[in-house]
Structure 1
Amino acid sequence: MTQGATQTSDLVLVIDDDPSMRKALGNLLDSVGLGCLALASPEGLKAVDLTGRVACLVLDVRMPGCNGLDFHEAFAHEHPAIPVIFITGHGDVPMSVRAMKGGAIEFLTKPFREQDLLDAIYVGLAQSRQHQTKGQESDDLRRRYASLSPREREVMAMIVDDGLQTKQIAARLGLSEITVKLCRSALMKKLGAASQVDLGMAAERLKAS
């Protein structure tokens, strides 16, 4: 791992069987202050904890005993928050089409302009950061929802799913309107919802997560 590639920094993973290419890419990334982990094959990734990391992967298409396109399919399924940039010395149209359909953000043929690679890496890191942020927000929302009492969840469902007003909820549950208002206020505070619209949006995010 090059200097600066800490457990809290953005990380660029490079997988290429060519030592000179790994060295060149490592030097390039160091020169712009990006942490880099350069590996000769995908096997090296097994020892790397990528959980919660903002990262992107620069991947060679053809390596001894490994097809980068096949590896990408498995990697993307396991690490959807880490975008992939392909580099190759022997690219063709079908290969690039398959890569892009698989979710790659760029397909560069060697020799490529350093700036083209850096531009793709910055896009990849931005996408990874956005994905990680959304994941953290979803985790936080699920924790907030888990803190609701059974009664609060029941009232929330009647508000969001049934569209009932306080008086209607009170009648259905056999509670006073004041009790329902207090329950509604408590659940909205726990979920960080300032309005019924916010509450509805929170419910939709919970369903989607």
Structure 2
Amino acid sequence: MLGKRLKQIAGSREGPLPGLVHVVDDDASFRTAIERRLKLAGYDVATYASSQDLLDHLPRDELPSCILLDVQMPGLSGPDLQKRLSELGSTVPIVFLTGHADTATTVRAIKAGAEDFLTKPVSSGQLIEAIERALSQQETARGLRSRLDSRRAHVASLTPRERQVFDLIVRGKINKQIAYELGTTERTVKAHRHQVMEKMQVSSLAELVSTAQLLGMLDPESGSHG
């Protein structure tokens, strides 16, 4: 049944490999066994005998990938490597896989952002599911970052006056109120409003407010511009 499951996973994907799995473990025989299992499932695999080895070949965030990381290793431990990668700004998700699990270590690793924490021996099914979740989480995070970058670029394209109108619109001001606050006419405000909607690439007020919230531009306690 397991072999059939792995073939289904590998066979269901077309085109490029689904992701690169970085395996960090000081046990050479374990690295070889895990590499074989993951390649059977259709993944590309890179193996490292130590944390420093991975740091010397830092994974690129823009590629679909995750790190399968042992906890206890000579030199830099798994949790220490997790901390170092975070300091370096890496967003590659981490799945811990260890024969030395304890509750405190697990909790610390998860709080520090680990995607999962598995205990050896682990079934291929459990392993594949954890990697799938990690890659899916990475794709979701990448999509969110892309959306944020796009929205920020839209805001940056607004003129100073359009930005003022934008700020007042998303705080619930109607055209008449905006015209009064800016010392202009409703007709002019409507023209600016049209430009704002067009440049922000939204079709409704709800979308505009949602964008402002996404970018952290709304103070929940502030009902007015200022």
Judged with a 3 Å threshold, the aligned counterparts in structure 2 of structure 1 residues 49 and 93 are, in CA distance, closer, same or farther, namely: closer
Within the candidate set 51, 58, 66, 1:48 is matched to 58
Counterpart contact for 1:54–1:132, Cα < 8 Å: no
Q: Which residue does the alignment assign to 1:110?
A: 120
C-alpha deviation, 1:91, in angstroms: 2.4
Counterparts of 2:205 and 2:74, CA distance in 1:
57
Matches within 5 A, 1:20-169: 20-43=29-52, 44-79=54-89, 81-161=91-171, 163-169=172-178
C-alpha deviation, 1:41, in angstroms: 1.8
Q: Which letter does structure 2 place at the counterpart of 1:139?
A: D
Judged with a 3 Å threshold, the aligned counterparts in structure 2 of structure 1 residues 8 and 28 are, in CA distance, closer, same or farther, namely: closer
Q: Which letter does structure 2 place at the counterpart of 1:81?
A: T
Q: Which letter does structure 1 place at the counterpart of 2:175?
A: T
Q: Which residue does the alignment assign to 1:191?
A: 200
Judged with a 3 Å threshold, the aligned counterparts in structure 2 of structure 1 residues 169 and 93 are, in CA distance, closer, same or farther, namely: closer
- Aligned pairs, number: 201
Judged with a 3 Å threshold, the aligned counterparts in structure 2 of structure 1 residues 82 and 49 are, in CA distance, closer, same or farther, namely: closer
Matches within 5 A, 1:162-181: 163-181=172-190
Q: Secondary structure of 2:216's match? A: helix
C-alpha deviation, 1:152, in angstroms: 0.5
Return the TM-score normalized by structure 2: 0.80
Q: Which residue does the alignment assign to 1:205?
A: 214
Q: Which letter does structure 2 place at the counterpart of 1:12?
A: V
Judged with a 3 Å threshold, the aligned counterparts in structure 2 of structure 1 residues 136 and 40 are, in CA distance, closer, same or farther, namely: same
Counterpart contact for 1:8–1:53, Cα < 8 Å: no
Judged with a 3 Å threshold, the aligned counterparts in structure 2 of structure 1 residues 95 and 14 are, in CA distance, closer, same or farther, namely: same
Counterparts of 2:73 and 2:85, CA distance in 1:
16
Q: CA deviation digits over 1:159-196, x for unaligned, max 9?
A: 123x2211222233232322211111111111122111
Counterparts of 1:109 and 1:147, CA distance in 2:
50
Q: Secondary structure of 1:63's match? A: coil
Structure 2 stretches of 5 or more lacking a match? 1-15, 218-226
Q: Secondary structure of 1:37's match? A: strand
Counterparts of 2:23 and 2:57, CA distance in 1:
14
Q: Which letter does structure 2 place at the counterpart of 1:74?
A: R
Counterpart contact for 2:17–2:43, Cα < 8 Å: no
Counterpart contact for 1:16–1:41, Cα < 8 Å: yes
C-alpha deviation, 1:86, in angstroms: 1.0
Judged with a 3 Å threshold, the aligned counterparts in structure 2 of structure 1 residues 41 and 180 are, in CA distance, closer, same or farther, namely: same
C-alpha deviation, 1:110, in angstroms: 2.0
C-alpha deviation, 1:80, in angstroms: 6.1
Moved more, 14-23 or 79-88: 79-88
Counterparts of 1:167 and 1:13, CA distance in 2:
58
**RMSD, aligned α-carbons:** 2.2
Moved more, 69-78 or 14-23: 69-78
